[in-house]
Chains A and B, each alone.
Chain A
Amino acid sequence: MKDLESQLRAALRPAAPREAFTKTLLAQISLTRQPRTTLRRTAWLTASLAATLLLAVGARQHVQDLRNRESGLEARRQVIEALRMTSQKLDLAYEAVKNQSASETPGA
């Protein structure tokens, strides 16, 4: 037996469109995007292009590394902030308990 939500999930599973639709769509997309052309270059130009690409890849990797580092440091900052706030609120509770204990202590 399944509840309403399980039945909804079963009733609403995604299904494929007609294959003809997909083929037409991909054909239209291909008309708007030019295939990468293979350029004929001299050996010198090919080498310089390769060098430029390597530099670009290296730079891109460097930028990606910097971004990863920024994300990691931000996550670290948020963890510390979250735990600091948790401690702060626990401290509020501590103060209340301490004050209550003090007021209940005879002669306090």
Chain B
Amino acid sequence: MTQRISWLWLILLLPSLAWTAPNPRLLLPEFSALAQKATESVTITLDPSLLAMAGRFLDSNDPQDAATKEVLKGLQGIYVRSYTFDQDAAYRESDIDAVRNQLSAPGWNRLLETRSRKSHADVDIFIMTDKNQAIGLAIIASEPRQFTIVNIVGAIDLEKLHKLEGQFGVPKLDVDLQPAASSPKK
């Protein structure tokens, strides 16, 4: 009897033993089926050790490398999945739901949501903060023939990332990148 009671107590399931602290790392699917259809697939998985290794091969005397090194400081991971297709509507929005659903978890806030009729591109930017410090960034970009998911984990310096855009030959983003209060979900 005592054993049965102890058994029941032990099996008691807590409501959620999920992360007690928010986790900025997303679980990115392999998208195997989509990868087979894609004309180009990009899968980048850079954990802390690979980032450190890359950092050792960035030349501080080169402006782009130096700026990149600055961005990498404090980062613990960069994960990218990008698939390009040779025709429109080769993927469905529901294919990306597995990732979007994770961004509904506590801790993630939508920083920006854009819908462009001109380029037919939808870009959602999410940020996770802890004690007013950005610790995670997620970007989901859906275009007619391509979708891209970027997940950056770590102490992201948005200002440095902002500056980096100029280094890569794209105009600087003039929007305010300071983490906002939680934005209404879609």
Contact residues, A51-74 vs B (CB, 8 A): 69, 71-73
Q: How many residues belonging to A are interface residues under a CB distance threshold of 8 Å?
A: 36
Residue among A1, A4, A71, A79 with most chain B CB within 10 A: A79
Chain A proximity of B92: nearest CB distance (Å): 20
Chain B proximity of A80: nearest CB distance (Å): 6
Residue among A84, A87, A91, A100 with most chain B CB within 10 A: A87
For the residues of A in contact with B, the DSSP-based class is helix
Does the CB pair B11–A4 fall under 8 Å? yes
Does the CB pair B152–A86 fall under 8 Å? yes
Contact with A along B165-182 (1 / 0, CB 8 A): 100101101110000000
Does the CB pair A91–B173 fall under 8 Å? yes
Chain B proximity of A2: nearest CB distance (Å): 6
Chain A proximity of B3: nearest CB distance (Å): 15
Extra pairs beyond A75-B53, A85-B82, A93-B175 (16, CB < 8 Å): A1-B12, A4-B11, A5-B17, A7-B11, A76-B54, A80-B68, A81-B44, A82-B44, A83-B78, A84-B168, A91-B165, A92-B143, A94-B173, A96-B121, A97-B114, A97-B175
Does the CB pair A96–B150 fall under 8 Å? no
Chain B proximity of A21: nearest CB distance (Å): 32
Q: How many residues belonging to B are interface residues under a CB distance threshold of 8 Å?
A: 48
Interfacial chain B residues near A100, Cβ < 8 Å: 114
Does the CB pair B17–A79 fall under 8 Å? no
A80-B68, A92-B121 in contact; A75/B57 too (CB < 8 A)?
Answer: yes
Does the CB pair A87–B72 fall under 8 Å? no
Sample 13 A-B pairs with CB under 8 A, ordered by A number: A3-B17, A5-B17, A7-B10, A7-B11, A72-B53, A75-B57, A76-B54, A82-B46, A83-B68, A83-B161, A85-B148, A89-B139, A89-B148
Does the CB pair A1–B44 fall under 8 Å? no
